Chain A
Amino acid sequence: MDDRPQTNPTTSTNSTNPTNATNEPMNPALQVTSLTKRFGDFTAVDHISFEVQRGEIFGFLGPNGAGKTTTIRMILGLLAPDEGEIEVLGQDVRKDPAGIRPRVGYMSQRFSLYNDLTVLQNLRFYGRAYGLSNRRLEERIAAALELADLKGREHIKTGELSGGWRQRLALGAAILHQPEVIFLDEPTAGVDPVSRRAFWDLLYRLIQQGVTIFVTTHYMDEAEHCHRLAFIQRGRIIALGSPSEIKAQKMSGQILEIACQNPSQAMQVLLNAQKQQLLPVTDIELYGAMIHIVTPQPKAAGERIAALLSENHIALESIQTIEPTLEDVFIAAMSA
């Protein structure tokens, strides 16, 4: 499989750009205000508000059970909210839940395709479901096959495709009707890293065509690919903005990366020191064979750590300040 970014003349920007439509060009792709959903005593989504601009990839991040799928279902009009407003492309979803469906695409969790049907039969069905027929249907199917790199596999049973192929077929099916916004619910869950990479390349190609993408994920490394993102935890948004904005907002300090012998013993020493308030640090985490430390005073902390480790006869290999990853940021935000 080829995971280099591809350019393709058949899907050029002008012919298929729906955002150039004359109606309501000023509306954001999505505007959510104080959206709330309760299941009995449990508040799955708790007064969340955010906006998605046209043409951006908006990431909706959070651990499993944080309320991501519930939010998507409400936005698509599949689930009635208890409170709040939702506008998709300027249309009020609560007033007319079905009204926006022809203009949006949806790829639900587990790539909901019919495994007993062939690739082509799946595409034909979803195309017809969105009202495509005859030549236009065949044209759009050809474009989707091209995009998903599924040419020559039209007559394979969908259940026999590997995860990566099925994922791209599901995306192809979701964009057949040329939606202006597409919603992807955990599109990369359970897919190998190479396929994940290729999938993000596909998303960038769609963005170039003017499509807006709303994507949920629990992979932190994918968050860096998004233009803007919201981090949701227990139904609430705890961080919102571009990756660099979030890093600036949420990191009250810098990160020290420590390489040493016997890192687990070193962890014990450092945690004990932190408990006795002998270390000016806010967080200590084991990162593979490394230890990451968040601190407002990197210089003082670094000296203290070097001293502590040598007292305990642990050989220090290196200690340096590093750029925080989003994962560092979210762990900091979640424990805050």
Chain B
Amino acid sequence: MKSAHILAVTRKEIRHILRDRGTLITVIFTPVLLLMFMAYALTVDIQHVSLAVLDYDQSPTSRAFVQQITAGSDLDLYGFVASYEEVERLLVRGEIKAALVIGPTFANDLQTLRGLPLQVIIDGTEPDSGGFAVDHIARRAETFVTQALANQLRQLGIDERALTPIDIRIRAWFNPGLKPRNDLIPGLISMILGMPALSVALALAHEREHGTLEQLMATPIGRGELLIGKMLPYLLVGLVDVVLIPLLAIAWFDIRLNGSFLLYFMLSAVFLFAILSLGILLGVFMPSQASALALSFLVIFFPGFFLTGIFFPLVSLPELVRLEAMFLPGTPYAIITRGIFLPALGIAELWPYVVMLLFQGVMFTGIAALFFRKKL
């Protein structure tokens, strides 16, 4: 390994990046846009589900019930309707996501504690908002009944606390509001940093497509020197993203970084090494930029979504898939970033994942260098 050779390749690659505004934007700004986009689009909070009410009871009690369930920002009262036909029309037009039907005996049944005559109609093509409406109405209805019951008990001189024999107090440590974004964003960073890896794969495939790779191979620059020299500039660019993304997350999404920024920065550099090695491996095996792009979705972005535990907990994956996930740099890195952002873990707890990333990086680069010559 000669540093002069590596440096020659690195300088050239930086010139390419600076000259081609497209690459520069892809590598630095796309990750930022991606974060904004994904953080908003993937937020699991459902709010403002539009609800129509078909009230056959028309009593003060039923009106009080409707008022109670539509208080707050979860369900929005679209309005009262007069018939099922109207409900159907509104659902079809998408103006409401759910409808509540109150039976004519509502007030009476509540008084006599006979169970409430309620029906919830939801749009089955949107099970998420529909299910949310059902849960919400069920909870409110329970409270409503419990209150009515408590009133009656009080009148009979019985302690209403007998109604709630279990009282569990929940505290969510590290993420007090259980805000899903707090959990999501550290994980998302690992996917977003896949962009520099894609760029390095494309850069290598570009050289192959344009015949410059053959010319390069005829120079005294070694295979390893070439691969490392090509990786370095994208490592630098990736580090810009590494700093930019948490700053944005903190300023814009009100995320707290509980752990050490320095540790986060250093371990991110290790992750970049691993993911760029994966990019290099792609670039070595793919004959063209188009195929490199296609495969990068298969091995960088797609598993980033499904296998790294960002959206689906790792424990829910089958054993074999979990094993495969451990070979993707995104998996240990998602654990590392969450660990640093939320419970402020240090290197004492995180070192096994760092070792995993280093192992992956060395393995990917090694395989790439080994097969590089045959794949001219």
List residues of chain A with CB under 8 Å of any chain B CB.
73, 76, 78-79, 98, 101-102, 104, 106, 108-110, 112-117, 121, 125-126, 128-131, 133
Contact = CB atoms under 8 A, between A and B. Distances in A.
Given A98-B220, A131-B4, A78 B12 contact: no
Contact of B211 (A79, A98, A108, A129): A108
Contact of B212 (A102, A104, A114): A114
B220 A131 contact: yes
Interface residues of B, number: 26
B19 A101 contact: no
A79 B376 contact: yes
Contacts of B219: 101, 126, 129-130
A129 B376 contact: no
Interface in B1-23: 2, 4-5, 7-9, 11-12, 15-16, 19-20
Of A73, A98, A115, A121, the most chain B CB neighbours within 10 A belong to: A98
Contacts of B373: 78
27 contacts: A73-B214, A78-B217, A102-B220, A104-B218, A106-B215, A108-B211, A108-B214, A108-B215, A108-B218, A110-B210, A113-B212, A114-B16, A114-B212, A115-B210, A116-B16, A116-B20, A117-B19, A121-B12, A125-B8, A125-B11, A126-B219, A128-B4, A128-B5, A128-B8, A129-B9, A130-B220, A131-B4
B32 interface: no
A192 to B, nearest CB: 21
Contacts of A112: 210-212, 214-215
Interface in B195-219: 210-212, 214-219
B19 A129 contact: no
Which interface residue of B2, B9, B15, B222 has the most chain A CB atoms within 10 A?
B15
Contacts of B20: 116
A113 B216 CA distance: 10
Contacts of A115: 210
Contacts of B2: 131
B220 A101 contact: yes
Contacts of B8: 125, 128-129
B221 interface: yes
Nearest to A115: B210
Interface of B: 2, 4-5, 7-9, 11-12, 15-16, 19-20, 210-212, 214-222, 373, 376
Nearest to A128: B8
B5 A129 contact: yes
Closest 5 CB pairs of A and B: A128-B8, A112-B215, A106-B218, A129-B219, A112-B211
A129 B16 contact: no
A78 B222 contact: no
Contacts of B212: 112-114
A126 B11 CA distance: 12
A113 B221 CA distance: 16
A76 B222 CA distance: 14
Contacts of A114: 12, 16, 212
- Most chain B beta carbons < 10 A, residue from A76, A109, A121, A125: A125
Nearest to B19: A116
Contacts of B15: 117, 121
B4 A133 contact: yes
Nearest to A173: B215
A125 B210 contact: no
A131 B222 CA distance: 12
B217 A129 contact: no
Given A116-B19, A117-B16, A117-B19, A110 B218 contact: no
Given A104-B218, A108-B215, 6 more contacts: A78-B218, A78-B373, A106-B215, A108-B211, A110-B210, A125-B12
B232 to A, nearest CB: 15
A102 B222 CA distance: 12
Contacts of B217: 78
Contacts of A130: 219-220
A173 to B, nearest CB: 9
A76 B12 contact: no
Nearest to A126: B219
B17 to A, nearest CB: 10
Contacts of A131: 2, 4-5, 220
Contacts of A128: 4-5, 7-8, 11
Contacts of B215: 106, 108, 112
Contacts of A126: 219
A166 B179 CA distance: 59
B334 to A, nearest CB: 36
B199 to A, nearest CB: 15
Contacts of B19: 116-117
Nearest to B216: A129
Contacts of B214: 73, 78, 108, 112
Contacts of B5: 128-129, 131
A98 B215 CA distance: 13
A121 B19 CA distance: 12
Contacts of B220: 98, 101-102, 129-131
